[in-house]
Amino acid sequence: MILRLALIGFGNVGQEFVKLLLDKRDWLIRSKGLDIEVHYISTRSRGSLISKKPLDLERALRLMKDEGSLKSFGPEATDLKPAELLSKCDADLVVELSTLNIESGQPAKDHIRAAMENGMDVITANKGPIAFAYSELKNLARSRGVHFRFEGTVMDGTPIFSLVEKTLPGCEILGLTGILNSTSNFILAQMSGGKTMEEAVREAQSRGFAEADPSLDIDGWDAAAKITALANVLMDAQANPSMVQRTGIRDVRGEDIKKAASAGKKIKMIASARPVADGVKLTVAKELIGPDHPFWSVDGTSSALTIRTDLMGDLTIIESNPTVTQTAYAVFSDLLLTVEAIRSGTV
């Protein structure tokens, strides 16, 4: 089986995913009977590629490393933007890895919609479309008979959606509680070690996982988008991030950390979703937790999620200090599950 891919977005995750494809190519052919070809790569400002033949992925990776651009790739290079490329695309599957827009989920929503309307399966690691338009996109995928997977949108490669889908049949999800933003968790851990908020933010930035403007993390917006995505998929919340009751950690100071420690507590930014009479209540807030809490040992860039169910009780999953490889693996695993569904004739 040959699977032709289009990549929308070619940043750190996209490049790491391509490395996985190269590293696992022999295994995919030998074990899965699957040959994956990338014919399209589209970026917003670093050039795009379009080719009838499989693209030289090693060359694409070298150019991004050496020049930060695909524009000198060769005759396959084009100035087409993602939306324009998708209109000319005849790939089997689109991998959507563009940057999160916390205000609307765009343009990723339109990328996914265009791919589905053209009959292409879609995998995304962009939480925006799931947080803002999950029901719409799910229904569109069903109506078009295409597959739609998004494991990498929350907790990197940790199999949250797949866990519920594949191993908890018949369970009702009664609530979700998680440490979902690794940057804010790292900052709080650094402050527990004596650093100020400003020093902790600079350390996170120097390590490459905090943006120049860390507002999305420390003000709770990233966590809000993630708990919304989780609740939309697992609890049919029909929500968007603006509906989350949100307070971040911007006002936490060293004295707050010390006061908590003297009481045998830690401050954590925790996102939650729970059923209420008129739907699902979503919150992101700093909380004091003690040693008996399942998140007590979740420090650094680790994250965690407790899934409350009617039949299996509470299940807690902890992801320890992930790297970009884990997010790329989520895309890779979604690809394999999509291929399994194609071969079995299910959507």
**Amino acid type, 149:** R
d(CA 72, CA 84): 20
* Cβ neighbours for 32, distance < 8 A, ≥ 6 positions apart: 336, 339
The HSE-up count of residue 188 (CA atoms within 13 Å, CB side) is 34
Task: Please identify every residue annotated as catalytic.
Answer: 226
Band (74; pLDDT cuts 50, 70, 90): very high
In the chain, % of residues over pLDDT 90: 90
Is it the case that residue 229 has pLDDT exceeding 80? yes
* Cβ neighbours for 280, distance < 8 A, ≥ 6 positions apart: 231, 235, 236, 237, 239, 273, 274
pLDDT in tens, 80-114: 888 888 988 999 999 999 988 888 889 999 999 99
Average pLDDT, the chain: 95
Domains and CATH numbers, the chain: 2-157+325-344 (3.40.50.720), 165-321 (3.30.360.10)
Are 10 and 321 in contact, with CB atoms under 8 Å apart?
A: no
Q: What's the confidence (pLDDT) of residue 83?
A: 87
66-75, 155-164, 205-214, 312-321: which has the minimum mean pLDDT? 205-214
* Cβ neighbours for 52, distance < 8 A, ≥ 6 positions apart: 39
pLDDT in tens, 117-171: 999 999 999 999 999 999 999 999 999 999 999 999 999 989 999 999 999 999 9
Are 154 and 127 in contact, with CB atoms under 8 Å apart?
A: yes
Is it the case that residue 347 has pLDDT exceeding 80? no
Mean pLDDT of 9-33: 96
